[in-house]
């Protein structure tokens, strides 16, 4: 099993849409994939689950299949996905927040065969202050409560992945460098960075690289050696495997050469700010995995159909020339998934396919 966080501390780069489609494509390539929503906005969860399921998951956890709305339990529409005992990342850390115990572990939601979700929750944001307070106390190694807090998200993810035999875990996180994201990224073996070619993404990279190195060094040097064996703890690798350029919608007030100017600067900033010494130089684009279009005309259709953009059909409203965009989208995400898998396979050779 290998974990990968999709992260950029600049928002609005299409990170969640990328995570959703990459999870689906990797599953269609034969991998067992677990998607984890650790962004308190819970947008990834909202892409996977419909409104009735979200209502049941967030507001009515006591609802059973026999009393659920017909739209949820009617097997002619879809199999039951929100079963009794299903939780969210917020309910998982509930006992820690209340001071009455350790994390509550639960099995992921089955999206379809080979694809699962650990759902997010807007209430996860309350964990920020608790994590911030636990971080310095973890350095001492004697505060078991602090160690259980800093490893809480990892242990929920690890249990969820093992319970379904996931090969690849994709972690979606919010666009900031706060305590929740620190705990989430420490749980990631690798980090994939979606970017847009603009000033804000470049400034985000300049902050991101040094922060990841500081978190890794502190965790591996000061905290990890002091964690008892009985507490499952992440390795804190956070290895950058590359970046993806997400193209913005076409704008007449933003000339193409302005986009290209920032695009040309990304390799240098990535090399000097994110990578460690001895890696490729500032003009080496080997860490640029792909450039993805915006697919603006497909997004609303996919949202209404509740399926990936690359699986839209005529019955979903993808008519005429839109089908060409669907085929191009499929080709783009297939190529992307293959390239991402190749990079992950350097760390976990079991991912290689003949």
DSSP classification of residue 198: S
Across-strand partners of 240? 191
User: CA quadruple 36, 306, 53, 16: dihedral positive or negative?
Assistant: positive
| Contact between residue 184 and residue 19 where contact means Cβ atoms under 8 Å apart | no
DSSP classification of residue 143: -
| CATH number assigned to the domain with residue range 2-51+85-348, chosen from the 4 options 3.20.20.70, 3.40.50.620, 3.30.56.10, 3.40.50.300 | 3.40.50.300
pLDDT (0 to 100) of residue 146? 96
pLDDT (0 to 100) of residue 283? 66
pLDDT (0 to 100) of residue 72? 38
Q: What is the pLDDT along the chain (354 residues), one digit of tens a residue?
A: 999 999 988 777 789 999 999 999 999 999 999 999 999 999 999 999 999 999 999 875 444 444 444 443 343 445 668 877 789 999 999 999 999 999 999 999 999 999 999 999 999 999 999 999 999 999 988 899 999 999 999 999 999 999 999 999 999 999 999 999 999 999 999 999 999 888 888 888 888 999 999 999 999 999 999 999 999 999 999 999 999 998 876 554 454 666 778 888 999 899 889 986 555 565 678 899 999 988 888 999 999 999 999 999 999 999 988 999 999 999 999 999 999 999 999 999 999 864
Burial 19-54 (b: 16+ CB within 10 A, else e): bbbbbbbbbbeebbbbbbbbbbbbbbbbbbbeeebb
Q: Please report, for residues 250, 308, 312, 337, 338, the alpha-carbon distance to residue 330 in angstroms, rounded to integers and kept in the order given.
A: 21, 9, 10, 10, 12
| Contact between residue 178 and residue 336 where contact means Cβ atoms under 8 Å apart | no
From the number of C-beta atoms within 10 Å of its C-beta (0-12, 13-18, 19+), residue 343 rates as middle
> Strand (E) positions, the chain?
2-6, 33-38, 109-112, 115-118, 168-173, 190-195, 239-246, 288-292
Question: Cα(203)–Cα(183) distance, rounded to whole angstroms?
Answer: 22
pLDDT (0 to 100) of residue 202? 87
Helices (H), 270-346: 299-305, 322-345
pLDDT (0 to 100) of residue 67? 44
pLDDT (0 to 100) of residue 164? 97
């Amino acid at each position: 099993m290998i974990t990968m966080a999709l992260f950029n501390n600049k928002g609005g780069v299409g990170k969640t849409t990328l995570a959703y489609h990459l999870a689906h494509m990797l599953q269609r390539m034969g991998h067992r994939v677990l998607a984890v929503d650790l962004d308190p906005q819970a947008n990834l969860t909202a892409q996977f689950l419909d409104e009735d399921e979200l209502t049941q998951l967030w507001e009515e956890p006591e609802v059973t299949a026999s009393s659920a709305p017909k739209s949820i339990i009617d097997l002619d529409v879809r199999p039951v996905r929100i079963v009794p005992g299903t939780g969210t990342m917020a309910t998982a850390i509930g006992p820690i927040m209340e001071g009455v115990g350790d994390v509550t572990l639960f099995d992921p939601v089955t999206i379809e065969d080979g694809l699962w979700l650990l759902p997010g929750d807007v209430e996860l944001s309350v964990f920020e202050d608790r994590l911030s307070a636990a971080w310095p106390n973890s350095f001492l190694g004697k505060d078991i409560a602090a160690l259980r807090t800093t490893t809480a998200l990892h242990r929920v993810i690890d249990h969820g992945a093992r319970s379904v035999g996931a090969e690849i875990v994709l972690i979606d996180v919010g666009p900031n460098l706060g305590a929740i994201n620190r705990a989430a990224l420490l749980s990631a073996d690798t980090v994939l960075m979606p970017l847009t070619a603009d000033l804000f993404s470049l400034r985000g990279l300049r902050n991101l690289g040094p922060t990841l190195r500081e978190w890794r060094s502190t965790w591996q040097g000061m905290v990890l050696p002091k964690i008892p064996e009985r507490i499952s703890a992440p390795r804190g690798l956070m290895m950058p495997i590359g970046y993806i350029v997400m193209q913005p919608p076409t704008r007449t007030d933003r000339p193409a050469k302005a986009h290209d100017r920032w695009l040309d600067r990304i390799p240098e900033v990535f090399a000097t700010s994110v990578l460690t010494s001895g890696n490729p130089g500032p003009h080496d684009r080997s860490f640029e995995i792909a450039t993805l279009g915006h697919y603006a005309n497909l997004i609303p259709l996919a949202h209404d159909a509740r399926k990936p953009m690359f699986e839209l059909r005529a019955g979903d409203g993808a008519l005429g020339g839109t089908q060409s965009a669907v085929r191009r989208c499929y080709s783009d995400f297939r190529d992307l998934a293959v390239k991402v898998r190749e990079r992950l396979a350097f760390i976990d050779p079991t991912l290689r396919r003949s």
